[in-house]
A and B are shown apart, each in its own frame.
Chain A
Amino acid sequence: MKRGIFIWVILGFFFLSFGFTQVGFAKNKIIIGFTVSQTGKLNAESKEQFNGLSLWKSYVNKQGGIYVKELHKRLPVEFKYYDDESSKDRVQQLYVRLITQDHADFLISPYSSGLTASAAIIAEQYEKIMLAIGAASDSIFSKGYTHTFQIYTPASRYLTGALDLLKAQDPGAKKVAIIFEQSNFAKAVATAAKNYAEKHGFKLVLFESYAKGTTDFTSFLNKIAEKKPDAVIGGGHFSDGETFAKQLFEQKMRIKLVSLLVAPAVPKFAEIGKAALYVTAPSQWEPKAQFTQNTAKKLGLPWFGVSANWFVKNYSKLYGETPGYHAAGGFVAGLVIQKAIEDAGSLKSNKVKKALEAMDLMTFYGRIKFDKGKYYGRQLGHEMVYLQWQNKGGKLVKQVIWPKGAESAKFIYPYYKKFK
């Protein structure tokens, strides 16, 4: 008797866990499906993105939703999301679930490039449009996917601005050291920077990667110092970037330009104090970047969505902190879907796809335009802005210093000025 019940309980649990399939409803909402990296290494960045996206949802739902011409009404937006554990195991399972069980109309990518590529197969298979935020790698966009659209500036154009910045400021500074974390994203960015540097007359004195999770860069910095570079660019993610900047400062290295990925763009970077001063970083977006309706008018582009001020104000009010570019990316992804649906007048993938192909507009985040041909879906219109940490009234603040026209303050050069 006992053993019978025991076995039935286990079997019962097993079969029940498959869940029940949902019955279809009449279309009364737009479902956007995605996974979030709530556990594992990518947790912090992914959360900010999610916050930005959520702010957009409440913004659009306050207006009653998105207007779909085909259905003659406004439909509110609803999210369906799961934790992908920053791991490739479940990503495809979860996206299949989002599409077939949760009936998502549109998808947003997982946070990293690897996960996005796996999800892209599913999106492609079911012909569901997926917006890629977080994934900045170019590699996904030359692999023949025709339903994935990138919001971020791709890796190939990430650090190239730093070299432009250097050349414009000091044409004689030629020696560059490129260092990067052993991760997909950092390697892609560094390799692209290397090619760009070599093409534009810079001298690459060092091109080397470091292991993930490195906390002590002292020996690496020694090696870099020996090569006497004018500029040190690269990095990886927040922790290593922050530590690198801190230790570079501790060693009082006489570098002219320091440009690191991710870390200096995060407000928290200020916690390293003086070490942060004059460090620059590429950023997908900064609160101080001046993309306004005027910018749109000057370029002859349509303007869409909220202003930067609105975004910063409402995000800060809701989440108690200034938004970074992950949050902006999340919000803009929402705006892009909204505009594409409005332009297409339909929720059908093939029509919305055409709207995305034709899209060329200006938002608070910058220009949005997608590539065609070999790199279908890659972000073409958006450029990185460069920020620099400067002293303003005794406090450390981020200023936008590049490109010219979007700057909020003048670029301070060289980095080692602060050691005097």
Chain B
Amino acid sequence: MKKRYTLFWLIPLIVGISLIPVVTNSVIYRETVFLILMYITLAVSLNIILGYTGYVSFGHIVFYGIGGYTSFYLMYKWGIHLIIAMIIGGIVSALVALIVGEAVLKLRGAIFAIATIGINEAIKSLVTNLPFLGGATGMFFNFKIYKTYGGASKAIWFAYYLMVIVTIVTLIASYLIKNSKFGYGLFAIREDEDAATVLGVNTKRFKSIAYAVSAFFPGLVGAIFFFKAGNIEPEDAFHLVKSIEMIFMVMLGGFGTLSGPPIGALLYERLKGVLLVNPLFKNLHMAIAGFVLLIIILFAPGGIVGSLRNKFKKLRGLLE
């Protein structure tokens, strides 16, 4: 058994970053770290279907939206508590993934990718037309909903702590999957699905579970984010560009690795955060992101972690 130390530094790093706003009691850091944690969770979940299993989910943001809408609706209509609504949101996302996956996981490669885009757009269009979900207007919280949590300030901090927990849980889940028989099966599917089937891997079931798990966590994230934002609209919930950003983060960090997606997410969020408030670069951040992505695809497809693992073989135990 190889020695696996990645979580030993990854988890403390995440916890450390999460504590910065708490220790400094700075709301501004809290906002920044919240976004970082959100991106990390999204990237790590996507990695399960993209990096481990090799299925390019281009429309993965749909699960963020489904979780968000489910949870928001439960809170809006029936005043259900965030934690419960969030979990139900995640479960609904996972269920949708299971159902949709039944059909869609039969596809391979780029066709699967296009199909996932189709699913995201279809669900976005559907939600836009459903009056009970607010349609194009979306749903807006009444400010007094935050009273249940002790006021807006406490509510947002609560959402923050919840996000920290969700992020850590997602990372641990990702680690456990990677080092389990289930994970090995997923990697086998990624490398050569037909060979995996021949070797006795129940590829159909494994793919379905991987897809469902990779949908559960974005559902949680969506629930938390829209609770904090106070309103939900179809455009934001099913924003295709965010899906691409998730892929970018996974690729930047290193797909299929444990520490890659968190690093990719962290760097991407910081890069974006810095560029957006800089008067010179803010209009160019999209072009810069495109350029960086191109460089990665062309010259370092393994991402940062992948390249580091290749160059510094001794670090492999640390950089899973």
A residues apposed to B, CB below 8 Å = 3, 10, 13-14, 17-18, 21, 38-39, 82-83, 85, 87-93, 96-97, 100-101, 114, 117-118, 120-121, 124-125, 137, 139-140, 142-145, 181-184, 186-188, 209, 211
Contact = CB atoms under 8 A, between A and B. Distances in A.
Contacts of B179: none
Contacts of B286: 39
A17 B239 CA distance: 26
Interface stretch (B22-30, B86-94, B111-119): B22-30
A183 to B, nearest CB: 5
A101 B28 contact: yes
A255 B239 CA distance: 37
A120 B231 CA distance: 11
A17 B230 contact: no
B233 A184 contact: yes
Interface residues of B, number: 49
Chain A CB within 10 Å, residue with most, of B27, B125, B152, B156: B27
- The 10 A-B residue pairs whose C-beta atoms are closest, nearest first, are A144-B143, A93-B31, A182-B136, A125-B152, A117-B231, A118-B229, A143-B142, A88-B236, A187-B136, A121-B230
A182 B31 contact: no
Chain A CB within 10 Å, residue with most, of B235, B236, B286: B235
A88 B138 CA distance: 13
A93 B39 CA distance: 14
Interface in B235-292: 235-236, 239, 266-267, 270, 273-274, 276-277, 282-283, 285-286
B141 interface: yes
A291 to B, nearest CB: 31
Contacts of B107: none
Contacts of A143: 140-143
Given A88-B229, A89-B35, 17 more contacts: A14-B270, A17-B274, A18-B29, A39-B283, A88-B236, A92-B31, A96-B27, A96-B31, A101-B28, A114-B138, A114-B231, A117-B230, A120-B143, A143-B141, A184-B137, A187-B136, A209-B129
A258 B87 CA distance: 49
B268 to A, nearest CB: 12
Contacts of B310: none
Contacts of B143: 120-121, 124, 143-145
B123 to A, nearest CB: 14
Contacts of A124: 143, 152
A120 B228 CA distance: 12
19 contacts: A14-B266, A82-B276, A82-B277, A83-B283, A96-B31, A97-B28, A114-B233, A117-B140, A117-B230, A124-B143, A124-B152, A125-B156, A139-B137, A144-B143, A181-B136, A182-B128, A184-B136, A188-B137, A209-B135
Main secondary structure on A side of the interface with B: helix
A400 B143 CA distance: 39
B144 interface: yes
B153 interface: yes
Contacts of A96: 27-28, 30-31
B113 to A, nearest CB: 22
Contact of A183 (B136, B141, B153, B315): B136
Interface string B27-48: 1111110110000000000000
Interface string B133-171: 001111011111010000111001000000000000000
Contacts of B273: 17
A21 to B, nearest CB: 8
Contacts of B31: 92-93, 96-97
A211 B142 contact: no
Contact of B152 (A121, A181, A209): A121
Contacts of B228: 92, 121
Nearest to A3: B312
A89 B274 CA distance: 15
Contact of B137 (A3, A87, A90, A137): A137
Contacts of A82: 276-277
A227 to B, nearest CB: 20
Interface in B25-75: 26-32, 34-35
B106 to A, nearest CB: 29
B32 A18 contact: yes
Contact of B138 (A18, A92, A101, A184): A184
